[in-house]
Amino acid sequence: MDATEICFTPATALAAAIRARTLSPVEIVDAVLARIERLNPRISAYITVDAEGARAAARAAEAAVMRGGPLPPLHGLPVPIKDLEPVAGLRCTYGSKFYADNVADADGIVAERVKAAGGIVIGKTNTSHYGYRDTSDNLIGPPCRNPWRLDRTSGGSSGGAAAAVAAGLGPVAHGSDGAGSIRIPAAFCGVFGFKPSLGRVPLWPTVDIWAARGHNGPIARTVADAALLLGAMAGPDARDPLSIDAPPDDYAAAVREPQPAVRGLRVAWSADFGYAALDPEVRRLATAAAERFTSLGAHVELLAPAWDDPRAAAATMWQAAFATRLAERLVAEPSWFEPELAGMIEAGGRVSGVELGRAMYARTAFHAQVQRVFDRYDLLLTPQMPAGAWPVEGPPTAIGGTPTPGMFDRLPFTYPFNLTGHPAASVPCGFTPDGLPAALQIVGRWHADTLVLKAAAAFEQAAPWAARRPAL
């Protein structure tokens, strides 16, 4: 197997090859590092690469293989960590000039668990300034670009993670999702992304645990690979009081035989919720993908959800959160802020306590409205992003003839399920005439992470996507 094939071999196959001693962790890490060295200057998927540390960890992993005995699930696999998550001894910028030279002194929960599962942290992936928007660009380095078309964005804020996986710069990657930040770049980059239920993977460190919007999760080329990484990350932790206080399922085992779990399910399909912007070509691709669930044995019904448009409440909470965190820094160093982020902070500073309280009440009411859908249906299908990846220079002001003046206008299918905490997966479902990936979203009931993964695996079996690679 040559180096390129190693870089595009599924993580589950790499893990099996390590155990069979047909591939060593050193070979795998060397192949991925060589590809990063060649391609990262064009893509900027990584902010920081720890070649020396990764090679040392790979040699230790290889020695453990040769000694024999049981190996943890990610043993010897390179795993990049998003640069909003601290990794002890590595630069952690948060995409901010304030932290351009910051070195973390301790691991966050995700890094801690990836290492405990045998994963090798190979570097930190690109993100926006504190993950504030749906692209992965900041003022400390070049913007992350889409491997399918380098003039387009990778999405955000886990865009570096998705671009790395799509380009073969890592078999799996960690992402985080506060308004769609796993699913946006997964959709734009043609890979699989999974936002687990709120609390399935603990969130720590964080300055606002009670916001209850942030989700850590996996990005991968296959559902099985994502399930492997999720299994290593999931499980309760007292440092996150919202973490689900129950052991996680064996996700890797659950996705091996997915189709029986899909047969007989009641599945709702909504193309636009009655208000969302949507490109006609993406509508066509996502509709065809949703129809595949009928052939898989599910009962698919068209849904016109009777829920309120949550954009105003979501924007209010988002802006207030960034104002609370960054307003003083904006005053101190205004040139260190992007205009869009500065505008969000200024808008958040004008939000009154009563207005924020009303937005939180609206979130509660919206959760009840969504829950009524899941009283009737096992799964909800939607398009994932309303258009293919837009230019690196900036987002569209309209999609499918509908104005999209603000960020939440162009994320109609992602942030609602951060407000509610439901599990949601982004599965590739084809390409637009411009050669840009499109994706279908699969949303599940409260805590039904395993069912969403099994449904995604069934779809992948019927319409596989991982064999297609960007021409780089």
The per-residue pLDDT for range 367-378, each reduced to its tens digit, is: 999 999 999 999
pLDDT surpassing 80 at residue 259:
no
- Beta strands at 424-431 and 402-403: parallel, antiparallel or unpaired: unpaired
In the chain, the amino acid numbered 269 is: W
453, 223 in Cβ contact below 8 A?
Answer: yes
H-only helix segments in 167-308: 183-189, 223-233, 251-254, 259-262, 280-295
How far apart CA 15 and CA 71 sit, in angstroms, is: 10
Which tokens in the block code for residue 404?
């999209």
> Cα 305 from chain centroid?
25
Give yes or no: 157 in active site.
yes
Lowest mean pLDDT among 106-120, 127-141, 252-266: 252-266
414, 442 in Cβ contact below 8 A?
Answer: no
The pLDDT > 70 percentage for the chain reads 100
Edge-to-edge order in the sheet of strand 123-125: 46-49, 123-125, 81-82
Average pLDDT, the chain: 97
How far apart CA 350 and CA 192 sit, in angstroms, is: 38
Which tokens in the block code for residue 375?
């009283």
Catalytic entry in 96, 136, 154, 181: 181
pLDDT of residue 274: 95
pLDDT of residue 283: 98
The pLDDT > 90 percentage for the chain reads 98
Return all residues near 353 (Cβ < 8 A) that are at least 6 apart: none
* Distances 227 to 388, 397, 436, 462 between C-alpha atoms, Å: 26, 36, 25, 18
262, 298 in Cβ contact below 8 A?
Answer: yes
260 versus 132: the higher-pLDDT residue is: 132
447, 214 in Cβ contact below 8 A?
Answer: no
How far apart CA 441 and CA 308 sit, in angstroms, is: 20
Domains and CATH numbers, the chain: 3-303+377-462 (3.90.1300.10)
Averaged pLDDT for residues 309-336: 98
> Cα 424 from chain centroid?
10
Catalytic entry in 82, 115, 124, 195: 82
pLDDT surpassing 90 at residue 261:
no
Return all residues near 383 (Cβ < 8 A) that are at least 6 apart: 271, 272, 278, 282, 283, 286, 413, 438, 439, 440, 441
pLDDT of residue 411: 98
Which segments within 126-171 are labelled E, that is strand? 145-146, 149-153
How far apart CA 104 and CA 119 sit, in angstroms, is: 18
172, 408 in Cβ contact below 8 A?
Answer: no
Going by C-alpha positions, the residue among 232, 177, 254, 191 that lies closest to residue 420 is 177
- Beta strands at 379-383 and 437-444: parallel, antiparallel or unpaired: antiparallel
pLDDT surpassing 90 at residue 260:
no
pLDDT of residue 258: 66
Q: How far apart are the first and last CA of the chain?
A: 19
How far apart CA 337 and CA 329 sit, in angstroms, is: 9
Residue with tokens 């069979």: 20
* Distances 90 to 53, 79, 123, 455 between C-alpha atoms, Å: 10, 14, 8, 37
Which tokens in the block code for residue 353?
């306590």
In the chain, the amino acid numbered 31 is: A
267, 379 in Cβ contact below 8 A?
Answer: yes
Catalytic entry in 154, 157, 158, 270: 157
Q: What is the pLDDT of residues 396-414, one digit of tens each?
A: 999 999 999 999 999 999 9
Give yes or no: 181 in active site.
yes
Q: What is the pLDDT of residues 72-108, one digit of tens each?
A: 999 999 999 999 999 999 999 999 999 999 999 999 9
pLDDT of residue 268: 98
57, 87 in Cβ contact below 8 A?
Answer: no
Q: What is the pLDDT of residues 191-231, one digit of tens each?
A: 999 999 999 999 999 999 999 999 999 999 999 999 999 99
